[in-house]
Amino acid sequence: MQVLVTGGAGFIGSNLTERLLEEGHDVVVLDNLDPYYDLRLKEQNLERCREAGADGFEFVEGSITDEALVEEVIANRSVDVIYHEAAKAGVRPSVEAPKEYNENNVDGLLNVLQAADEHGVTRLINASSSSVYGVPEYLPYDEDHPNSPKSPYAVTKLANEHYCNVFDDLYDVATVNLRYFTVYGPRMRPNMAITNFVSRCLNGDPPLIYGDGEQTRDFTYIEDVVEANLELLDSDAADGETMNIGSTDNISINELADHVIEETGEDLERVHEDAKEADSRHTHADVSKARDLIDYEPSVDIREGVSRFIDWYETNREWYEPLVMNS
């Protein structure tokens, strides 16, 4: 099968691309190499994909905002399925640049959807976010929970869901929205909490927490996210649907920091600074719908996942840590 992964040089996109290549699919990655974090990490991601794919992998550098390029990539490669992972990332930075986020995320997706419809793509799986929920009225979030996004980034993710639903209803491309809940694991972005906690602890510095640390997160291990996506590659079981992709439980940031301290064996105490605006206070996913539709079953809880990440970090410390420290 011919698959396009937009944003395939990023954390989730590159892990997904690797698995698709390992399973024998041809994959083209379209990514603009946005320097949101150290581009050497994205170069490492692409190298892993090349190693996994040999002749089945192609990388195209460019933006989903380039309508002509998007159409050329989709039309000239007879793309069957699209995994749309590309987006301008970051809740906090979006507060400073809402128009830029809308142009990249919403207009970019529309370019991909229109080209997909015009050139016979059978399915598009859209990467959405738990940030669309905003302040919880109840937990865990199910997909019927009201949406009240609290940042421009979250607004773009919700708008993209609506556009995908409209294209599924009115056009010839089936779509699925996956609402990710804080994905983590090997090669994750340097600016994520777990990365920072592990890096600081291994270098003898205390974990730095913004706010009181009682905020909670549903952290989802990368392998579980990849499995959910692969279930949709050639199945119409969830066409037109929106689903949560989360983990087995949530955890407070204080508990997370304490677990990292324990796992790294360091004698440290947490340090707190002022909370950051636009961050959600709590997230927790009800994954019943994904379980019913695609047999999704998160397999890695946060404590096991953090332990796995620490092992991976120490093995890859020579090249990964400089990227974390410089971001």
Q: What is the SS3 assignment for 134-179?
A: ECCCCCCECCCCCCECCCHHHHHHHHHHHHHHHHHHHCCCEEEEEE
pLDDT above 90 (res 316): yes
Residue 289: predicted pLDDT: 98
pLDDT band at 97 (very low <50, low <70, confident <90, very high): very high
Question: Would you state the structure tokens that stand for residue 144, as one six-digit string?
Answer: 């019927």
Query: Among 58-62, 97-101, 210-214, which is the least confidently predicted range?
Result: 210-214
Rg (alpha carbons) of the chain, rounded to whole number = 19
Q: How far apart are CA 90 and CA 242, in angstroms?
A: 22
Residue 218: left if φ>0, alpha if ψ -120 to 50, beta else—which one? beta
Q: How far apart are CA 320 and CA 296, in angstroms?
A: 31
pLDDT > 90 fraction of the chain, expressed in percent and rounded:
90
Tokens 């690797």 identify what position?
18
Q: What is the average per-residue pLDDT within 200-226?
A: 95
Q: What is the average per-residue pLDDT within 61-83?
A: 97
Active site residue 153: yes
Q: What is the average per-residue pLDDT within 298-320?
A: 95
Catalytic residue among 83, 153, 180, 184: 153
pLDDT above 80 (res 277): no
List pLDDT tens digits, range 225-257: 999 999 999 999 999 999 999 998 889 999 999
pLDDT above 80 (res 115): yes
How many CA atoms within 13 Å lie on the side-chain side of 1?
A: 19
Q: What is the mean pLDDT of the chain?
A: 95
pLDDT above 80 (res 133): yes
**Domains in the chain, please, with CATH?**
2-182+222-247+280-299 (3.40.50.720)
Distances (CA, A) of 35 to 6, 39, 101, 231: 16, 6, 15, 31
Residue 313: predicted pLDDT: 97
pLDDT > 70 fraction of the chain, expressed in percent and rounded:
99
> With DSSP H G I counted as helix, E B as strand and the rest as coil, what are the percentages for the chain, rounded to 5?
45, 15, 35
Residue 327: predicted pLDDT: 67
The helix-helix angle for 11-22 and 39-53 (nearest 10°) equals 10
Residue 278: predicted pLDDT: 61
pLDDT above 90 (res 54): no
